[in-house]
Structure 1
């Protein structure tokens, strides 16, 4: 693992990792490879979806957050990945990649100080990843990114170039029926710079909703204190976690703050429920429709 002329190095199976709350390091595992190996050793490379506890993520000794033996819970994909190089549908891991455990730890790659000698192998791995990515795109050029572009062109989704709000979102999921006590939802966000994010929401509260275990909402959001000068600044503001409160009847208002970004956001959305809820959201950047 090292930074080469072609960019950050890729992460093969067997690479050491650590958790900020764990007492010991452990290797990253990959039971089924993605078709690209790292030499020497012919160890397969990992991607952002390799985050399952017990399968990819092993235990890190004693957990300082729970005061119990480590038992990682990592439902979300790795972040800080190489989005230009795709392995079986997900970005390749690099040495800057991070993974969040819901118990409070952050899992990161242990950098090998003596890895400079592996530059040639990383260059070869980069070439192979690029070849696999090109072949995949040739076989399946009509992916999610193209579907989003088509939806924008056909007026199904808003055009970022004419968007009045800072971002718009759509989500759907499950909630406790009639008496809205808890909900869990997922969806995606499109901002006015063309960035697209996946997101998950969880909330608890009180009120009335549909007599079915479903929930959904569409809405617009506005930043109160974010730098809006570039695509990257929008990503800094939207990607990551946030906590907030939502109140309303049909048309609802939400106020939230990013953690740890500190960006304050206000949202207006339509949701077929009445009441007040408190919850959190996590969003991660996928791609930009203009690229």
Structure 2
């Protein structure tokens, strides 16, 4: 059984230099101390903010900077490219007709990183 994810949860990208915070807009009206997240809370620069600098060569900005530095990996500012929902969501708990987000869910960045949940903002509400 997983822990329900809410606004303020700490998230981290596998290619990011710093952790970030998940922002959840209170559109569903479901609270678990803070607005509860769904798998659809994946919008870049709305729900998922930058993770400092990116070191993934799949990111075109990093690839261009690395090429300009004659092959020396050059980290560049992170701009998440999260186009698909979090997977997996809770198969049995729906929030606004969308699966609830749990702490074992992952989010894929189109540049190659995997965003995971480091620390949920609350630890009392569980979802199967």
TM-score by length of 1: 0.36
- Specify which of 80, 91, 97 is matched with residue 72 of structure 1: 80
Q: Per-residue deviation at 1:111?
A: 3.0
Give aligned pairs, total: 110
The answer as to 2:43 corresponding to 1:52 is: yes
C-alpha contact (below 8 Å) 1:14/1:28 kept by paired residues: yes
The answer as to 2:32 corresponding to 1:17 is: no
Higher relative contact order (CA 8 A, sep 6+): 2
In the other structure, the counterpart of 1:26 is: 20
Give 1 or 2: higher helix fraction. 1
Q: Per-residue deviation at 1:21?
A: 0.4
- In 2, the alpha carbon distance for the partners of 1:71 and 1:54 equals 8
In the other structure, the counterpart of 1:8 is: 2
Q: Secondary structure at the match of 2:91?
A: strand
C-alpha contact (below 8 Å) 2:20/2:50 kept by paired residues: yes
Correspondences of 1:207-246 after superposition (within 5 Å): none
TM-score by length of 2: 0.79
- In 2, the alpha carbon distance for the partners of 1:16 and 1:105 equals 16
What do the CA deviations read for 1:115-168 (whole angstroms, capped 9, x no partner)? Answer: 7xx43xx15xx5xxxxxxxxxxxxxxxxxxxxxxxxxxxxxxxxxxxxxxxxxx
Q: Per-residue deviation at 1:31?
A: 2.5
Stretches of structure 1 that go unaligned for 5 or more consecutive residues are 1-6, 127-291
C-alpha contact (below 8 Å) 1:27/1:58 kept by paired residues: yes
C-alpha contact (below 8 Å) 1:33/1:45 kept by paired residues: no
Stretches of structure 2 that go unaligned for 5 or more consecutive residues are 57-61, 63-74
What do the CA deviations read for 1:48-73 (whole angstroms, capped 9, x no partner)? Answer: 01100111000100001123100011
- In 1, the alpha carbon distance for the partners of 2:117 and 2:92 equals 20
The answer as to 2:31 corresponding to 1:37 is: yes
Correspondences of 1:1-291 after superposition (within 5 Å): 7-38=1-32, 42-65=33-56, 66=62, 67-111=75-119, 118-119=123-124, 122-123=125-126
What do the CA deviations read for 1:92-124 (whole angstroms, capped 9, x no partner)? Answer: 110100000001100000136xx7xx43xx15x
- In 1, the alpha carbon distance for the partners of 2:49 and 2:4 equals 19
Give runs of ≥4 in structure 1 deviating > 3 Å.
none
